[in-house]
Structure 1
Amino acid sequence: MLLAVDIGNTNITLGLVEGGAIVATRRAGTHRAATADELEHALEGLLALDDHRLADIAAMAVASVVPVLTEAIEAVAVRRRIPILVANAGSVPIAVRVDRPGEVGADRIVNALAAARLYGTPAVVVDFGTATTLDCVSADGAYVGGAIAPGLELGLEALAARTAKLPRIELPTPDRAIGRDTVSAMQAGTVFGYQALASGLLARVRAELAETAGVAPGDVRAILTGGLSAAPWARDVAGVDVIDPDLTLKGLAIVHQLVAGGEPFAGSAR
């Protein structure tokens, strides 16, 4: 059984992969100060929720944007004698055509590979996480760059922290853009503003990628993923073809298949 681990700035997400499919997922908050011992304890606890243990894991595939936790999980793997594959620009089998490949987040490269393998090219991956990222895959399957904007929750936290009277709020989908009180005004501004930011960036990036590939913008696949992609309001982001919250975990399974000879992941034959 493969354990796919996506270590982000806000959350650590686990995926158990067996029989060419993700059979369980779990999520916990990211604690940058966690030691290897604490991380091992957290992994055991999350796996236990699905009646598994680290002793059941045959291999790990990891994408991490938190270097100290990358080192911690590598230490856990060594201690538990679990083969580990850490995704980066050098280990993921995809051409990375940007000025500084080493600066590209591992999750972004993994997402690009997963999009190409699962949904075809050219493609744009929109990732709603701590940051909102748009990552582009060329017609020949290379990662060719993208765009980064502050994430929705990051903006909300800054708004609440930097203003005296604006509260922290929940985010249902508003009925209208004109709020009649502070909370509804914040909800409208945040949700509709974020939808506009994402759809506007997507349209521009899609058009540029289509022009380079010599295809119509509608032929560029747009995949939405990330922790906030499952929110109800995310379904109304214009231009998105597919919502796949587990894209990074699927990408890690595909990377493990291609690099370490792991079990083929279903649907990755493109």
Structure 2
Amino acid sequence: MLLAIDVGNTNSKFAVFDGDTLVSQFRLRTEAKRTADEYAAWLTQLMHLQGFNPESITGAILASVVPQVNPNIRRLCEIYFRTKLLIVGEPDCELGIKVLIDRPQDAGPDRLVGIIAGYKKYGGPLITIDFGSATTFDLADKDGNFVGGVLAPGVELTIESFYLMTARLPRIRVEKPARIIGKATVPAMQSGIFWGYVGLIESLIRRIRDEYGEPMKVIATGGLATVFKDEIGLFDAIEPDLMSLGLLEIWRRNRR
């Protein structure tokens, strides 16, 4: 079995694959100082509760945007699962694509993993949109190479700044309001967030396609993708497990 680990700025996801089948997923809040022992106590207990033996893990791969966690996750894999850890972005990890941007070393591992997964399933040219701490728009050409993208503040980050940077505005949830024109503070905020991001996403998709000059599929991932899908109507598919599937594909490429 393969342990595929995706560490984001807010949450970390641990996915377990048995061949092509995703058998379990576990989520944990990302914490840079969490030790290997703490990871192990949490993860192995959940594995036992799911009914499989942690000793069945025979490989591990990590994509992380928080480098501080990498050493302890490496120790987790080596000590508790007795397997080496393949880390996306390190020299020994082959991606099988070209990174065609001005500074290839700046491409986030999560962005590359998403492109690889999207291209594997849908081909290219392609836009993947990830609704995470940042809302990222990443592009693959017809050959699957990473050719750039757009970064915008994430929806939750915008809501949090609303709350922290103002004296009287409350923290709100992301949801579609009943009306565009709010008759009270919370509906007015919800309208600004929801319809503001609908406009941002639609506009960027159209502008990216216009500048690229070719038809492009649009694949969305992240927890908030389903919140916006009915209003936007420009997504070809929503893939909640895009990152895990990308890690599986990269692991296979390196095994070959």
TM-score w.r.t. structure 1 length?
Answer: 0.88
Deviates more, 1:238-247 or 1:126-135: 238-247
- Give the aligned partner of residue 220 of structure 2: 224
Counterpart among 140, 145, 158 of residue 143 in structure 2: 140
The whole-number CA distance in structure 2 between the counterparts of 1:195 and 1:24 is 32
Q: Do structure 1's residue 84 and structure 2's residue 85 form an aligned pair?
A: yes
The whole-number CA distance in structure 2 between the counterparts of 1:18 and 1:34 is 27
The whole-number CA distance in structure 1 between the counterparts of 2:219 and 2:49 is 29
In the alignment, residue 253 of structure 2 is paired with which amino acid? L
**Structure 1 250/149 Cα, relative in aligned 2: closer, same or farther at 3 Å?**
same
Q: How do 1:163-182 and structure 2 match up within 5 A?
A: 163-182=166-185
The whole-number CA distance in structure 2 between the counterparts of 1:89 and 1:115 is 22
Say which SS state the counterpart of residue 139 (structure 1) adopts. coil
Q: Deviations over 1:212-249 (max 9, x none)?
A: xxx3xxx311000123224x334423421111111010
- Aligned positions, number: 253
Say which SS state the counterpart of residue 225 (structure 2) adopts. coil
The whole-number CA distance in structure 1 between the counterparts of 2:156 and 2:187 is 16
In the alignment, residue 124 of structure 2 is paired with which amino acid? T
- Give the aligned partner of residue 75 of structure 2: 75
Say which SS state the counterpart of residue 167 (structure 1) adopts. coil
- Give the aligned partner of residue 63 of structure 1: 63
Q: How do 1:143-222 and structure 2 match up within 5 A?
A: 143-209=146-212, 211=213, 215=214, 219-222=215-218
Q: Do structure 1's residue 130 and structure 2's residue 125 form an aligned pair?
A: no
Shift of 1:89: 7.0
Q: How do 1:233-252 and structure 2 match up within 5 A?
A: 233-252=228-247
Residue pair 1:65, 1:105 contacting (<8 A) in 2 also: yes
- Give the aligned partner of residue 29 of structure 1: 29
Residue pair 2:74, 2:84 contacting (<8 A) in 1 also: no
- Give the aligned partner of residue 119 of structure 1: 122
Q: Deviations over 1:122-168 (max 9, x none)?
A: 00000100001000001121101101010000010011011111111
Q: Do structure 1's residue 103 and structure 2's residue 106 form an aligned pair?
A: yes
Q: Deviations over 1:89-140 (max 9, x none)?
A: 7522211111111111111001111111111100000010000100000112
Say which SS state the counterpart of residue 134 (structure 1) adopts. strand
The whole-number CA distance in structure 2 between the counterparts of 1:149 and 1:119 is 24
**Structure 1 190/48 Cα, relative in aligned 2: closer, same or farther at 3 Å?**
farther
Percent of paired sites with the same residue: 38
Listed as ranges, the gaps of 5+ residues in structure 2 are none
The whole-number CA distance in structure 2 between the counterparts of 1:27 and 1:6 is 10
In the alignment, residue 4 of structure 1 is paired with which amino acid? A
The whole-number CA distance in structure 2 between the counterparts of 1:44 and 1:97 is 40
The whole-number CA distance in structure 2 between the counterparts of 1:88 and 1:46 is 28
Say which SS state the counterpart of residue 50 (structure 2) adopts. coil
Q: Deviations over 1:58-116 (max 9, x none)?
A: 11111110101112111111213113211127522211111111111111001111111
Listed as ranges, the gaps of 5+ residues in structure 1 are 262-270
Q: CA RMSD in A?
A: 1.6
- Give the aligned partner of residue 2 of structure 2: 2
- Give the aligned partner of residue 47 of structure 2: 47
